[in-house]
Amino acid sequence: MTAAQVTVTGGRIEGHNSPDGKVRWFLGIPYAAPPVGDLRWRPPQPVKPWTGVRLTLRYGPSAPQPHVAANSLYHGGEREFSEDCLYLNVWTGPRGEQPRPVLVWLHFGAFQFGSASNPLYDGTVLARDGATVVSVNFRLSRLGFFAHPALSAESDHGVSGNYGMLDQLAALRWVQDNVEAFGGDPTRVTVAGVSAGGHSVHNLRASDLAAGLIHRAIAQSGPGVAPVLDGPSHAANPQSLSAAEQAGTEIADLLGARTAAQLRAVPPETLAAVSLPRAKGAWCSDSRPGPSTSTHVVDAAYPVVDGHVLRESPLTAYQSGRALDVPMIVGNVGNERSGSRYLACLRDYHDHVRRTYGVHAARLLELYPASSDAEVPAASRALESDRIFVWSSWTAARLQARRGNSPLWHYNFLRRPPIPPDSDLIEKSYAAAFHGADVPYLFGTYGVRDWPWTDADRTLGRQLRAAWLSFLATGDPSVQGPVSWPQFSEHTPSTLVWDLPSPHIADVPYRDRMAAFDEFNQLAAMPEPLSHVE
């Protein structure tokens, strides 16, 4: 491989050319100063310039994060972790090509784990097919979304907690300033991501600070379009600043830290290890050390409706029509429950549903029934995944169709990747079209999983990539895509099903379940469709 050099903010960098000269890639490019020491819990600061040529031949460190089991679908292979984590990666075509559409990719991980170095996100295939791909690290968990009154007092805006989101915005500004040097078109930037990355897409569309940085959006299995919580946080819901500061105060008290300086002196591992007493619960999670307390609910840090970075939640931004008005693709996989926590016994399940859903509990227990302990994991997973992932995407689609001017396309990815029967994956027995199953098809990174991929899988991946690339280039997945994909309409809602033997248009499923969550979340239901897709 030969060297490839580009000048970016900070100085000159050197990456790789592929042997055939069709792809250049640059790994571990700093897009902001290291957020360490006094810069912990501050907005990202400008890159520190360097002299000479900086080698960008390997990924930068991932953000500090909790352990994920190596035999989980959600283990990203990360090996190096550091607070100094604000790096991004670029894959693009040969020098001198016409400006390419840009894909900025935000990774999964519930804002607690994951990174841009996950090999599933290698942008080589998409770059070979015509895109410039940028994948982004950002601060996670308590280093990325920790709020505290002492930190808010330091801020010019009187807020704290959205440092990871500010990192994403800084990366998007870096793209505007630098992507032309890689052959990318700064007027055709699509922000996209899966799971927490999809949640981030919704958040960015709701932020005034993203104006001019995003021209299209793709939210794959993205939660976050949900009411704001004024109590304990959850990956499905944004939290209020007061609730986030309250949780931060409780954590600081347990650490014996009263000031911002004392908090910044706490080692990352100590900060991550503190558990709030109110976080204990019956929820389980297969991909993390367990049995899990419900740290996924009240003991972690998530995006905050702070009045500055997020003036309002994505839900209210979509409802009001104030969300950034750009074309969008939104959808889910067939089995989002593989990314959800679960309960293990019938008593806990019934108690949770009655306590959480009140007068709506009986209806939800009808829709997600369990009559024995053995049935509870599947039922509780289905309930959680529909609430967190499916209702969010369905609601974003409906509200954009109702309030926005830009078009939207909805999809369901139902292909079950070919996990071998002898696999030791934790999620094997219930994976199916698992949470994130569409990612290797989009990136063409089948080799990351040693599974018996078929020619039909590869054909489906090429079709999916062609639709996404058409959207990146034109704002419409049908213009250069493989199928005629109608825009989502309020009166004739349809979805594109990505499955074998071929993609096809169908009616949107699970209307009864979605209607139950509409009632719970006090959202006006969509009118009955004028016609159904046959």
Sign of CA dihedral 30, 32, 33, 36: negative
- pLDDT at residue number 510: 87
Q: Give the chain's mean pLDDT.
A: 92
Residue 530, pLDDT above cutoff 60: no
Phi/psi at 331 (5° precision): 180, -175
- pLDDT at residue number 339: 72
Residue 298, pLDDT above cutoff 70: no
Best CA proximity match to 226, nearest among 322, 331, 317, 129 = 317
Top pLDDT among 445 and 285 is at 445
Q: How far apart are CA 481 and CA 282, in angstroms?
A: 46
The neighbouring-strand residues paired with 91 are: 25, 133
Phi/psi at 205 (5° precision): -65, -25
Domain ranges of the chain: 1-519
pLDDT band at 533, cuts 50/70/90? very low
Enumerate residues 6+ apart whose C-beta is below 8 A from 388.
223, 234, 235, 236, 336, 340
- pLDDT at residue number 292: 35
pLDDT in tens, 341-357: 889 999 999 999 999 89
The neighbouring-strand residues paired with 433 are: none
Q: Which residue has the tokens 């991929």?
A: 453
Contact 106, 136 (CB under 8 A): yes
pTM to 2 decimal places: 0.94
- pLDDT at residue number 525: 61
No. of helices (H) and no. of strands (E), the chain: 17, 15
Which CATH number is associated with domain 1-519? 3.40.50.1820
Give 504's DSSP letter. E
pLDDT band at 282, cuts 50/70/90? confident
pLDDT band at 423, cuts 50/70/90? very high
Phi/psi at 13 (5° precision): -125, 155
Strands (E), 418-509: 494-498, 504-507
